[in-house]
Structure 1
């Protein structure tokens, strides 16, 4: 809805920057709030507060005047047989790589809970994801302030490689303080990966189906998060395995991107200007409440 609220591109760019910054701050504060409520009250309280805040935010957006005034543009009258396909091999491979990115994030959240139990510091389950999000927030700001001469595909592959390298220090099983600092490094590359993925999607998707393509992009990350959370939950009591999984997910993403690099070259120039960076990042989710210990007892 931003184009209808702010037609001026310069103002819209500032609004998108504020949008991204606000979401980044929420991903820092949210995990800390969940961990604090779970440790001082109960996981049930944390879940209830999360639900109330989510409902309140949804209602505020749905009832805002811009939401009520907005109407979608009428669809173009194109015969069904002429509708361009969305599921091109290039997009499928791009979305497959993002499953690995989501897997790393989901595994990281469970690893944070495992660290909290191992060191008997419940707040670690919120501090570690908050540190990751802080790195993501700062990395996005630095990325957005620079002009890049390299191609988007080149940046995507390079940053995906840095994302893999950022997880490697966890394999040495650092303590709480070192882990808090270390996890900010892969976080610094997360927003850049997402930004390059959005830009690549914009050039690969048919012009009439970019919104649908963005939805599949976020869904791919969400599927990876679910898989990473599920598998990490099974291995949460094994410190090394729990620390390895985020790097494994990131390595899968990099391998797919390297294999698909030539296919990701856009077949056309976008008919409209791509959305300016920063993009609102895909949700990385609050960490699971630290209930693993309570559930076992």
Structure 2
């Protein structure tokens, strides 16, 4: 832990006890997520010889994976990683293995593949939200948490670049279905290694805490249930989403996803319009490179401004920059704009996760981060579909501007935070956190 006068470094974050082991295991498992989309589409297309079936199977997988993410994270919060995360990883790996086997034969049934893809997506282990919760537990210094979250965001960005490249290499030497098998192995090995880390083994879920407290008497059991948000999952979600800061982080995250999902499709249309299809790879690489650089720079700075103000600035800057990119006279000019806009992507996502962490109690921290992640993915998917309807009907520059409007608008709304709502939210959060700490102390004594 660094002193208060010395800004902590990324090296200090990784030198924290158990950090490298846990983070490395999480990245290994999350590499599967960088590979799965392309692997699944290629494998289903090869088995059925139909892009329509491949797209449908991928959509079924993605829908359950994205929209059930907060539910899966809530299970981890309630039961802990050993009881919830590990079974998810086993089920996910088995279903991916079944998909790999089913797609290894030509003429596979599209219905069967859809039936397998639907629960596979539903069982996707929330390794990213869990790792961010672990960072918060390992690093009580908020400056180090900021650096850890930035490092996490940059690493995740790189995984989604490396993953498709690995799939491309696998396809060159073997069948596309092998990519599904490798994805299954990666997530299982990564999750098992992560759960076996002492940083994760010590994680006590709400249910376990309640059981431990109940063993010491009815009065303490009641207090334990209050600290965990009560018995009702619906009431916990309402409490979780009642905080205006968390709601704003979720909304901004969704609009950032909208902006980026639209941008990727618009880049392809822009390059085609200028007869430079090869520029697409360079533009998207510049976007990812800018995001990585921006994330590392952002995490290394000790900011004086609040998380809310930082989120408004980086989200607004991202939207305005990518809107201006639509005015580029040539795709290779768009590369420079993409690199500039990329500087704000990882900082925006990192800040949204930081706000989610600050606005949640220890009993709901993983689920709060999952809501931010889900909103981003949902926004990206929705924007891709919507922009596909606009391209060809409106000038591309107008499409770029329209894609930027949601994120710029959401950045503006972040600055208008009701004072009374903030006070009420902070009071509720402080009370819940104090109750959770009391529960943790009672559990520790009972053990």
Aligned partner of 1:259 in structure 2 is 416
Distance 1:130 1:153 in 2: 29
1:86 aligns with 2:240: yes
The alpha carbon displacement at 1:177 in A equals 0.9
What's the secondary structure of 2:308's corresponding residue? helix
Mark the structure with the bigger radius of gyration: 2
Distance 1:144 1:93 in 2: 21
Distance 1:143 1:17, change over 3 A: closer
Show CA shifts across 1:28-60 (max 9, x none): 4567x49x96xxx99xx9986875664453233
Match of 1:250 among 392, 400, 407: 407
Show CA shifts across 1:6-39 (max 9, x none): 39759x97876664443333344567x49x96xx
- 1:1-297 equivalence runs, <5 A: 5-6=18-19, 9=139, 19-29=152-162, 33=165, 51=180, 54-64=183-193, 66-68=194-196, 70-71=200-201, 72-75=203-206, 76-77=209-210, 78=225, 80=230, 85-90=239-244, 91-237=246-392, 238=394, 239-260=396-417, 262=419, 263=421, 267=426
What's the secondary structure of 2:340's corresponding residue? helix
Distance 1:137 1:250 in 2: 20
Distance 2:379 2:175 in 1: 24
Distance 1:46 1:203, change over 3 A: farther
Unaligned stretches of 5+ in structure 2?
1-13, 20-136, 211-224, 435-447
Show CA shifts across 1:240-278 (max 9, x none): 343223312322322332334755676158759xxxxxx
The alpha carbon displacement at 1:228 in A equals 0.9
- Does the aligned pair in 1 maintain the 2:151–2:299 contact within 8 Å? no
Distance 1:124 1:29, change over 3 A: farther
Distance 1:208 1:175 in 2: 50
What's the secondary structure of 1:183's corresponding residue? helix
Distance 1:5 1:139 in 2: 26
What's the secondary structure of 1:73's corresponding residue? coil
Query: Aligned pair count?
Result: 263
Unaligned stretches of 5+ in structure 1?
273-297
Distance 1:53 1:183, change over 3 A: farther
Distance 1:191 1:17, change over 3 A: closer
Distance 1:178 1:264, change over 3 A: farther
TM-score (norm 2): 0.50
Deviates more, 1:82-91 or 1:111-120: 82-91
Structure with a larger share of its residues in helix: 2
- Does the aligned pair in 1 maintain the 2:290–2:339 contact within 8 Å? yes
Distance 1:197 1:226 in 2: 19
Distance 2:175 2:277 in 1: 13
TM-score (norm 1): 0.72
Show CA shifts across 1:158-199 (max 9, x none): 222222221232231431111011012221111111222122
Distance 1:190 1:30 in 2: 19
